[in-house]
Structure 1
Amino acid sequence: MKIGLFIPCYVNQLYPNAAIATLELLQKLGADVSYPSKQTCCGQPMANSGYEHLTQSCNDLFIENFSGFDYVVAPSASCVLHIKDHLHSHADEKAAASIRGKIYELVEFLTDVLKIEKLDACFPHKVGLHQSCHGLRGLHLAQMSELVAPDFSKPKQLLNMVQGLELTELDRVDECCGFGGLFCIAEEAVSVKMGKDRITDHTKHGAEYITSPDLSCLMHMEGILQRNNSKVKIIHIAEILNCSSIKA
């Protein structure tokens, strides 16, 4: 299968190690991965600001970059959800619809398409899993705790395959971290308080690292951790799944 690797702009600029880990992991699993070098922002910040009508150039470029692949994979639940819900084209809606149907966040690609049952990974640390809202309620990477339904978690399923990793139990397994894109700007005080509460749930259960499929949430919590001189670190799930005992 031919995979187009979509690396969101903020991941490219601020967390390149997560992008590299995603590429290496997919290659280890036998995928033929290409990185279209002309890719830019998917347009999510503009759409979330109420300017989706101005994102057509982003959409057209995305279609130009990622048409022709069997799958498009990205290490960001929020950006993937944006493309799934909002990628359209006045010139070629058929191509846009095709991409909307074959773009996957990394975790769901590993579990739903590749159907991974074993990983050669080692990360001997206590890890807290943050279920991002976009991944949880948009992409259904895990069951929402408010529903009376069978429980599942695709990120947890993969993390349980990592040698030496100990997942911490949380009091509130899918509480929002308070980032919310523009929410953290418009409602800064509320956003910070939510972030502090989310971090406290992880730290009081002994987490050394907090991981998630969404680096935007991790970026928000990392800022709070650093301001409080915390020793707890954030790490994207791709970096854990790609990690050997030497790297850890």
Structure 2
Amino acid sequence: MNVQLFIPCFVDQLFPETGFNMVKVLEKLGCNVSYNPQQTCCGQPAFNAGYWDECRSVATKFVKDFRAYEYVVAPSGSCIGFIRNYYGKLFDNSAVHNEVKLLRKHMYEFTEFLTDVLHVTDTGATLNGVGTYHDACGALRECGIRQGPRELLSKVRGLELREMNDCEVCCGFGGTFAVKFEPISIGMGEQKVLNAIDSGADYLISTDLSCLMHLDGYIRKHGHSIKTMHIADVLASGL
């Protein structure tokens, strides 16, 4: 199976090891993985800030950078959710409308691709400790991803998975929300971290590095021992 990688801005600039770990898992499962180094942002930040024309320019390049007839997989429910749910509005009645429609059908968040396309729930990973899963808004609300990541984590050898209180509540990041409403954002992040700690978890795990970056900032500032991990890093552990 041919798989194209879409590496979002957060991963490319700040957490490249997550991208490499995603490749490790996909290749272990028999996928032929390709990466177009010309790819850039999907346009979500500009769209959310109200700059639709600028977003459309970036998104047009995105459509050209990916072959719509192959699977495109990304370690981000937020970016995948944006492309699936809002590219139609950006390109309605445009020359690339049909290409966009086809591309949206082939876009998958990493764990979703594993469980729904490859039908895999056990990657052979090993990670000793206790983990708790945070439902990122993009994955849960934009893509409908909930059970798949939990099934994958339940098969990780040595990992005990525990649910924390309010696991589906937003962590408070929300992109520009964290800048415009800093006190609220910090308060929401604090509650998420404390709920994770109360579960007894060693690892706070999610599908989206934007959430994890926000939460890790609070954790580091307050000296908590809990660690944040992207689920791709978990599923590649010990391989």
Q: Judge same fold: TM > 0.5, yes or no.
A: yes
Residue number among 118, 131, 137 corresponding to 1:114 in the alignment: 118
Is 2:9–2:40's contact at 8 Å kept on the other side of the alignment?
A: yes
Map 1:71-86 → 2, pairs under 5 A:
71-86=71-86
Aligned pair 1:62/2:62, yes or no? yes
Stretches of structure 2 that go unaligned for 5 or more consecutive residues are none
Q: What is residue 23 of structure 1 aligned with on the other side?
A: 23
Q: What is residue 215 of structure 2 aligned with on the other side?
A: 221
Structure (1/2) with the larger helix percentage:
2
One-letter code aligned to 1:5: L
Q: Give the whole-Å Cα distance in 1 for the aligned partners of 2:162 and 2:116.
A: 25
Q: Give the whole-Å Cα distance in 2 for the aligned partners of 1:52 and 1:4.
A: 26
- Residues 183, 60 of structure 1: alpha-carbon distance in 2 compared, 3 angstrom cutoff: same
Q: What is residue 168 of structure 2 aligned with on the other side?
A: 174
Is 1:3–1:69's contact at 8 Å kept on the other side of the alignment?
A: no
Give the secondary-structure state (helix, strand or coil) at the position aligned to 1:124.
strand
One-letter code aligned to 2:113: F
Stretches of structure 1 that go unaligned for 5 or more consecutive residues are 143-152
Residue number among 91, 94, 113 corresponding to 2:95 in the alignment: 91
Q: What is residue 235 of structure 1 aligned with on the other side?
A: 229
> Which aligned runs of 4 or more in structure 1 are off by greater than 4 angstroms?
none
Give the secondary-structure state (helix, strand or coil) at the position aligned to 2:211.
helix
- Percent identity between the two aligned chains: 39
One-letter code aligned to 2:221: R
Map 1:84-233 → 2, pairs under 5 A:
84-87=84-87, 88-89=90-91, 90-142=94-146, 153-233=147-227
Is 1:4–1:69's contact at 8 Å kept on the other side of the alignment?
A: no
Q: What is residue 33 of structure 1 aligned with on the other side?
A: 33
What's the offset of the Cα at 1:68?
Answer: 4.7
One-letter code aligned to 2:115: T
What's the offset of the Cα at 1:173?
Answer: 2.4
Q: Give the whole-Å Cα distance in 2 for the aligned partners of 1:16 and 1:79.
A: 16
Bigger shift: 30-39 or 113-122? 113-122
Is 1:67–1:95's contact at 8 Å kept on the other side of the alignment?
A: no
Q: Give the whole-Å Cα distance in 1 for the aligned partners of 2:164 and 2:121.
A: 25
Structure 2 length normalisation: TM-score?
0.95
Give the secondary-structure state (helix, strand or coil) at the position aligned to 1:165.
strand
Q: What is residue 11 of structure 2 aligned with on the other side?
A: 11
One-letter code aligned to 1:114: L
Q: Give the whole-Å Cα distance in 1 for the aligned partners of 2:6 and 2:163.
A: 32
Q: Give the whole-Å Cα distance in 2 for the aligned partners of 1:7 and 1:170.
A: 29
One-letter code aligned to 2:33: V
Q: Give the whole-Å Cα distance in 2 for the aligned partners of 1:198 and 1:73.
A: 27
Between the two proteins, the alignment pairs up a number of residues equal to 235
Structure 1 length normalisation: TM-score?
0.91
Superposed CA RMSD: 1.3
Q: Give the whole-Å Cα distance in 2 for the aligned partners of 1:201 and 1:53.
A: 40
Bigger shift: 236-245 or 28-37? 236-245
One-letter code aligned to 1:67: R
Q: Give the whole-Å Cα distance in 1 for the aligned partners of 2:227 and 2:52.
A: 34
Q: Give the whole-Å Cα distance in 1 for the aligned partners of 2:6 and 2:158.
A: 30
